[in-house]
Chain A
Amino acid sequence: MKKERIQKPAIAMKNVSKRYFLRNSINKKEFFSLKDINLNIAKGEKVAILGDNGAGKTTLLKLMTGIANPTQGSIQHSGRIVSLIDITAGFHAEFSGRENIYLNAILLGMNIKTIKKLEQSIIAFSGIEKFIDQALYTYSSGMVLRLGFSIAISADPDIFILDEGIIVGDQDFQKKAYDKIEEIFDKGKTIIVCSHMLPLLRRLCNRFIWLEQGKIIMDGGKEVILEYKKKRNFLQIEDVPSNKNSKLLFEFLKSLPIGEKFTARASSGSMEPLILKGDEVLIKRVAFETLKKGDIIAFWSRDIQNVIVHRFYKIEKDKILTKGDNNLISDLGYVKKANFLGIITNFN
Chain B
Amino acid sequence: MTKLITWQYYIDFVLLLTKKEIQSRYKRTLLGFLWVILNPLLQMLIIGLVFQFFVPMKIENYFLFLFAGLLPWSFFTNSLLRTTPILVQERSLIQKAAFPREILVVSAVLANLFHTLIASSVFLLFLVFLQSSLLAGIYFLFSRIFLFAIFFIIFLFFVLASCLIVSAEYVKFRDINFIVQLAVQLLFYTVPVIYSLDMLPAFFRQILYWNPLVSFIEVFRAITLGTNFNIQTAILVALLSFIFLLLSLFIFKKESKNFDDWF
Which residues in A have some Cβ–Cβ distance to B below 8 Å? 20-21, 62, 65-69, 79-81, 83, 85-86, 89-90, 92, 94-95, 99, 102-103, 106-109, 111-113
Contact = CB atoms under 8 A, between A and B. Distances in A.
Contacts of B9: 106, 109, 111
State the main secondary structure of chain B at its contact with A: helix
8 contacts: A20-B261, A66-B1, A67-B95, A80-B2, A80-B4, A89-B93, A106-B16, A108-B97
B95 to A, nearest CB: 6
Contact of B93 (A81, A95, A107): A107
A107 B20 contact: no
State the main secondary structure of chain A at its contact with B: loop
Contacts of B94: 67
B27 A103 contact: no
Contact of B28 (A65, A81, A94, A108): A94
B260 A62 contact: yes
A85 B20 contact: no
Interface in B1-36: 1-2, 4-6, 8-9, 12-13, 16-17, 20, 23-24, 27-28
Contacts of B13: 106, 111
Given A81-B2, A94-B28, A111-B6, A67 B97 contact: yes
A80 B2 CA distance: 6
Contact of B257 (A65, A69, A94, A99): A69
A89 B97 contact: yes
A86 B27 contact: no
B98 A81 contact: yes
Contacts of A81: 2, 98
A49 to B, nearest CB: 17
B129 interface: no
A83 B258 CA distance: 19
B12 A90 contact: no
What class of interface size applies to chain B in its complex with A? 20 to 34
Contact of A109 (B2, B93, B260): B2
A102 B17 CA distance: 10
Given A67-B260, A90-B97, A107-B99, A112 B12 contact: yes
A89 B5 CA distance: 19
B92 interface: yes
A65 B27 CA distance: 34
A267 to B, nearest CB: 34
A79 B1 CA distance: 11
Given A67-B98, A86-B92, A95-B23, 18 more contacts: A21-B261, A67-B94, A67-B97, A69-B257, A80-B2, A81-B2, A83-B97, A86-B97, A95-B24, A99-B20, A106-B12, A106-B13, A107-B93, A109-B9, A109-B99, A111-B9, A111-B12, A111-B13
Interface in B29-66: none
B24 A66 contact: no
B98 A83 contact: yes
Contacts of A67: 94-98, 260
7 nearest CB pairs, A to B: A89-B96, A86-B96, A68-B260, A66-B1, A66-B98, A69-B257, A112-B12
A134 B150 CA distance: 41
Nearest to A135: B27
A21 B172 CA distance: 13
A90 B24 CA distance: 14
B174 to A, nearest CB: 12
Contacts of B95: 62, 67
A94 B27 CA distance: 7
A89 B4 contact: no
Contacts of B23: 95
A107 B97 contact: yes
Contacts of B2: 66, 80-81, 109
B238 to A, nearest CB: 33
B212 to A, nearest CB: 33
